[in-house]
Amino acid sequence: MNALSKLVAVEAKLFLREPVSLFFVFALPLGLMLVFGLPSRGSTEAGTGQHGELTFLPALALSLTIGMLALFTLPMALGIYRERRVLRRLATTPVNPALLLVAQVVVNLAMGVAGAVVTAIGVRFLLDQPAPANVPGFVLAFLLGVACLFGLGLLIAALAPSARSAQSIGPTLFFPLLFLAGAWLPRDQMPTVLAKIGDYSPLGATVDTVAAAWAGDAPAVPQLVALAVTAVLGSLLAVRFFRWE
């Protein structure tokens, strides 16, 4: 077993010991769909609802899971390591401290994928909805959304000097992005400029492209490009400004 696989195993064990992180990944998306999805299902069956609501909710739940992992869990973990000088001590060993970053991303990505699978199963059996109809488009939108949000999470981790500051920066960025995604106010009811910003915001673009693929449509190319550009810029800036201590 090489150094990276050992670090991934250790980080996975630490992640699984955190009930809050497990709640974000598995319980919160399912709870969101139970609270909002079942009434929407009933109205749709009665002919008073819109079928799009049943694809928006799982897409929002998936995006919520990814966003919390990327903007809450990842920056906080790296902030704790920086505070406790774990990264500095790793730098004095044969293990490259960068491997710890890779291990963190791998573990959080694996948890995000597991959460996506659980959410898809929940949609199928709780809301009686089919699996994503456009599977290639769904995979592409999901991976670009993950890359975009994790790029922002790594940038927060690069700039935050401590876990407490990471804990402050993450929510400060997350909740406005959640608003722009239409979590509280549908974007068609927002002012035109604000709605357009929401369309290309990290969470907004992720929700829209995942929901489109789930319904069997092709994700909008401009939104996919916006996700890819944000992912590249966030990752490059994170590498540029990252501090090991």
What pLDDT shows up at residue 51? 42
136: in domain:
yes
Mean pLDDT by 10 residues, the chain (245 residues): 82 84 78 62 44 70 86 86 80 74 86 82 73 89 93 89 86 90 86 93 94 91 96 90 77
Distance between CA atoms of 39 and 46, rounded to whole angstroms? 11
What pLDDT shows up at residue 199? 94
Distance between CA atoms of 222 and 90, rounded to whole angstroms? 41
Distance between CA atoms of 154 and 5, rounded to whole angstroms? 21
* Terminal Cα distance for the chain, rounded: 28
What pLDDT shows up at residue 47? 42
44: in domain:
no
What pLDDT shows up at residue 219? 94
92: in domain:
yes
72: in domain:
yes
46: in domain:
no
150: in domain:
yes
Distance between CA atoms of 49 and 240, rounded to whole angstroms? 48
Number of domains in the chain: 1
Q: Domain containing 139: what range?
A: 3-39+51-241
DSSP 46: T
- Which contacts of 159-162 are long-range, i.e. CB under 8 A and separated by 24 or more positions? 159/241, 160/75, 160/79, 161/79, 161/82, 161/243, 162/79, 162/82, 162/83
The encoded tokens of residue 173 equal 């960025």
Q: What is the pTM of this model?
A: 0.85
What pLDDT shows up at residue 53? 58
The encoded tokens of residue 158 equal 């690069």
What pLDDT shows up at residue 44? 43
What pLDDT shows up at residue 202? 94
Secondary structure class of 18 (helix, strand, coil):
coil
45: in domain:
no
Contact indicator for 66, 112 with CB cutoff of 8 Å:
yes
Query: What angle in degrees, to the nearest 10, is found between the helix axes of 74-83 and 135-159?
Result: 30
What pLDDT shows up at residue 49? 43
